[in-house]
Structure 1
């Protein structure tokens, strides 16, 4: 089942609206987006993807905070958090609670009239994700960026979740050409960054580490939730620069995202990695219990 609503953005200078009146449900097969929309023509927009389990969106406020941060970086209007929260709850309530799901929020620069184009979609997914149990093989691919890209060239929009995902998808295709499932990007200096659609987490002993978002990595909502849980369960956590060799030599490593949750890395560049099955299971159980 798929659900699609077009959202008319709330004018903040107007009285408090009926948010339902600003939601228009459309058939997923209907054409509703202009071919002149900047999101289509130039990838000029931002988005968020939220996992759904047992009929509830996981940590929607964190995703709305990140949507607003991306909009600021892109010089887009600030989304009304309460309006989008209402839309998220409407979509989540229409999905089968016995299945998993994914909600996608999208805001583009529109057609040039100064008004953004906004919509929200919901799709049902299998309740189990194979990679959580079986893991993924990854390759390290050079992103072509220096580690200080966000400071050196802010117009590259590092750290914003934009619709311009063509390089990320190309990286995944390259991984499959090399016999792998996923990617960890590296900087020109050899630091590990993030995956095309995920955050990187590395374990050494009782220390969990993720590459810092200040170096152009997207702040990970799932990673942040996991670190909060880990600190209450005997682990220390750090967000800092991580050398690629540190990932290769780690006791365990994972890719974390809103839909797949925590996926263990079982090999890097054909080199077998240790897998912490027990910790992987505990982390996913924690995330699946969240609403």
Structure 2
């Protein structure tokens, strides 16, 4: 897959093509040693001349909310959409047969200037839909539960923890994934210290209980999911209702179906949690994937 990278200067409102294999980021950039920045990843699907950027507006709205939470400049939709389109155009030109890939875009606070100010910088590049993703879509995944280390709804009392912002500081998320793999599982499932189910390290959880779809309340201490909200918007078309709720691990295990939903994986079945099997709903899984891929 051809690599495409563009660099974004928010102050100058410019987008410039760059070489992904060449050095671009100075070590003084605050994203490099503090994770001080924000990002989003969108799924791009191509069908002949049609291009679908799944949940484009939802992703950008969350990008703007994350920028506000970190005190970064309000991102200009025209500038960032121009960067997104530039990456898509390069990938399409290099490989016309490529029908699905992701684009990750990010904004860093930048480096510290001599006068104490910062100059935010941004970038966007393509990421592949690899074999791990496609296998998860068809086979599902297993997960182990992990204590997130704080009580539910802590973010309302401590907004500086940035619990609802999608930042570049993903060390804990990566560590959770590695720990899950060491336990023989595909994924982790974060649970608040007082027992409320939250989310996966890079995805939201949706469960089915009868004719209801349930997902944890973002205010409980998790990232509001663009893919989860897309599913909820279409729940009625699937003959289901959708609601936010607090629930525990036992509710997940006893559910009529459970899914991890995210931009790149779309909807994947959670087959097993902490060694306990969970009912599979293959028909609904296919419907959820189609709804998400349609954008």
TM-score norm. by structure 1 comes to 0.93
| 2:101 corresponding residue in structure 1 | 101
The within-5 A match list for 1:202-281 is 202-281=207-286
Instruction: Confirm or deny: 8 A CA contact 1:99 1:126 kept in the other structure.
Output: no
Query: Could you say what the CA RMSD is over the residues aligned between the two structures, in angstroms?
Result: 1.5
- Structure 2 distance, partners of 1:126, 1:248, is 28
The within-5 A match list for 1:22-33 is 22-33=14-25
Structure 1 unaligned residues grouped into runs of 5+? 12-18
| 1:186 corresponding residue in structure 2 | 191
| 1:112 corresponding residue in structure 2 | 112
Structure 2 unaligned residues grouped into runs of 5+? none
134-143 vs 214-223, greater mean Cα deviation: 214-223
Give the counterpart of 1:71 among 67, 70, 74: 67
* Offset, 1:94: 2.2
| 2:138 corresponding residue in structure 1 | 133
125-134 vs 232-241, greater mean Cα deviation: 125-134
Give the counterpart of 2:31 among 9, 32, 39: 39
- Structure 1 distance, partners of 2:210, 2:89, is 41
| 2:4 corresponding residue in structure 1 | 3
- Structure 1 distance, partners of 2:90, 2:108, is 25
- Structure 2 distance, partners of 1:163, 1:124, is 19
Could you list the per-position Cα deviations for residues 257-281 of structure 1 after superposition, in whole angstroms to 9, with x for gaps in the alignment?
0000001000000111111000001
Could you list the per-position Cα deviations for residues 62-99 of structure 1 after superposition, in whole angstroms to 9, with x for gaps in the alignment?
11100000111111111111211121122122224533
- Structure 2 distance, partners of 1:257, 1:9, is 27
| 1:15 corresponding residue in structure 2 | none
Instruction: Confirm or deny: 8 A CA contact 1:146 1:189 kept in the other structure.
Output: yes
Instruction: Confirm or deny: 8 A CA contact 1:95 1:123 kept in the other structure.
Output: no
1:147 aligns with 2:152: yes
Instruction: Confirm or deny: 8 A CA contact 1:46 1:70 kept in the other structure.
Output: yes
Structure 1 SS opposite 2:32: helix
Instruction: Confirm or deny: 8 A CA contact 1:141 1:184 kept in the other structure.
Output: yes
Instruction: Confirm or deny: 8 A CA contact 1:57 1:92 kept in the other structure.
Output: no
Structure 2 SS opposite 1:232: helix
Instruction: Confirm or deny: 8 A CA contact 1:99 1:124 kept in the other structure.
Output: no
- Structure 2 distance, partners of 1:211, 1:220, is 10
136-145 vs 94-103, greater mean Cα deviation: 94-103
55-64 vs 222-231, greater mean Cα deviation: 55-64
- Structure 2 distance, partners of 1:262, 1:125, is 14
* Offset, 1:10: 4.6
- Structure 2 distance, partners of 1:35, 1:10, is 20
TM-score norm. by structure 2 comes to 0.91
